[in-house]
Structure 1
């Protein structure tokens, strides 16, 4: 009896599998430079096209050089940095332990959370009149307004990070004989670290966003103060110098926090 060989429907296991060529990734630094060049180009075109009152990049650069030459810009930057850093540091240092208490202990959550949610709905700028009346017109009310903006952003992120810790990890640590302190230090804190650092970045943005309003309180120096003075004289180049300085300082501080986040959460998968 003759046997007929049927064609094999399955592909041979030895057949070569086509490999897609990997896409070349464009360096992020190059993309940032291209974005910066495009932004400056659009800004220059807008200042010449129809927005006659809009100062161009060169006019703003000349004004920045003049303010830097007489020491005005450096003094304003140092004054604003001191206020932002102090308010942000105090807000973060208080927010992290309170967020841990709210997330770990139900009693603390029930006692503190209503106040946190209440003050989150009140804009920090609305607190300025109360701060002036109760704290005067010195540095204290300025720093307090920045502190409040940073604190409210960071405390919610920390609280959310604690309650989102995988319960399986906590139970596994307890089964292995870990005490509550060990579980908290070796499981809860590392697992909630990404949330804390994201909350710090949001709090830093809130601090810089509140700076100009905080320096309304009888300030004599600072980027926000300089912008408000320039507004009175319709000095648009000085206003742009203040805006760019605030943006650059905020960007540098945010990148430092992002670097710390990558160092502290190296175990986390990223795209």
Structure 2
């Protein structure tokens, strides 16, 4: 039997630690380089005369104007409130529904046809129905975003339960664990990576649905501001809205990724 000596373990661990420590720094450097390259390419395209394309400085000036008069802050808060509310509600419902479908065959047979049916319908196609049934207030806007987040997350939660290693479940049964214990101690932890991936996809869907959701008689919000700017061919304002949505979405995605790494620290990553 091969045994690794303590000195060898001690020698190997610092090297691994150094590699692990260098990885975030290298990733950050690559991220900054990617942003700078993107800004340079954007500037070049605006200089060579792509029709109507504003440069980064023009967009930055417009962003400064919108920040100074409070418009951007108001729009960001309105859109962020709608996305967070729809995303949280959608995810909160998707996880238990996904667990029910994955754990109980009866629930799967009853619920899966509806989930798969509505997954084929874009949430944007629900907007006319939402307006007719729910009016033109905040409820239909949040509902459309909720639907986008729910349909993206429920399948991930369901798949996480279905893909749990049966060996782990059988081993727990042999040791005398009840179904409740198996579900809480085996199924839920094993499904967590799937759920977090589904949440990230659902978050992207929620932000992707935002602009269309704010078509419903909105008076504020990033999507609303972009639609108003379109009427007057105000491209800098449109770019400010696009960049704001991208930055907010990226920040929220990074937070989910960080939380996922903390919750699944037991899982091997590379």
**TM-score surpassing 0.5?**
yes
Name the CA distance, whole Å, in 1 between partners of 2:120 and 2:257: 28
Name the CA distance, whole Å, in 1 between partners of 2:258 and 2:234: 37
Q: Deviations over 1:213-257 (max 9, x none)?
A: 000000000000000000000000000000000000000000000
Name the CA distance, whole Å, in 2 between partners of 1:201 and 1:52: 35
Q: Secondary structure at the match of 1:27?
A: helix
Name the CA distance, whole Å, in 1 between partners of 2:147 and 2:110: 19
TM-score by length of 1: 0.91
Map of 1:15 onto structure 2: none
Map of 1:174 onto structure 2: 173
Map of 1:57 onto structure 2: 56
Name the CA distance, whole Å, in 2 between partners of 1:151 and 1:61: 35
Map of 2:260 onto structure 1: 261
Name the CA distance, whole Å, in 2 between partners of 1:136 and 1:150: 21
Q: Deviations over 1:35-89 (max 9, x none)?
A: 1100000000000113141000000000000000000000000000000000000
Map of 1:67 onto structure 2: 66
How far 1:27 moved relative to its partner?
1.0
Unmatched tracts of structure 2, length 5 or more: 1-14
Map of 2:220 onto structure 1: 221
Name the CA distance, whole Å, in 2 between partners of 1:209 and 1:145: 11
Map of 2:106 onto structure 1: 107
Map of 1:91 onto structure 2: 90
Q: Secondary structure at the match of 1:268?
A: coil
The alignment yields a C-alpha RMSD, in angstroms, of 1.4
Map of 2:158 onto structure 1: 159
Name the CA distance, whole Å, in 2 between partners of 1:154 and 1:52: 40
Map of 2:7 onto structure 1: none
Map of 2:237 onto structure 1: 238
Map of 2:196 onto structure 1: 197
TM-score by length of 2: 0.91
Name the CA distance, whole Å, in 1 between partners of 2:67 and 2:49: 30
Equivalent residue pairs, number: 251
Name the CA distance, whole Å, in 1 between partners of 2:226 and 2:146: 22
Q: Deviations over 1:154-193 (max 9, x none)?
A: 0000000000000000010111011111000000000000
Map of 2:116 onto structure 1: 117
Q: Secondary structure at the match of 1:216?
A: coil
Name the CA distance, whole Å, in 1 between partners of 2:30 and 2:202: 27
- Greater share of residues in helix: 2
Unmatched tracts of structure 1, length 5 or more: 1-20
How far 1:150 moved relative to its partner?
0.2
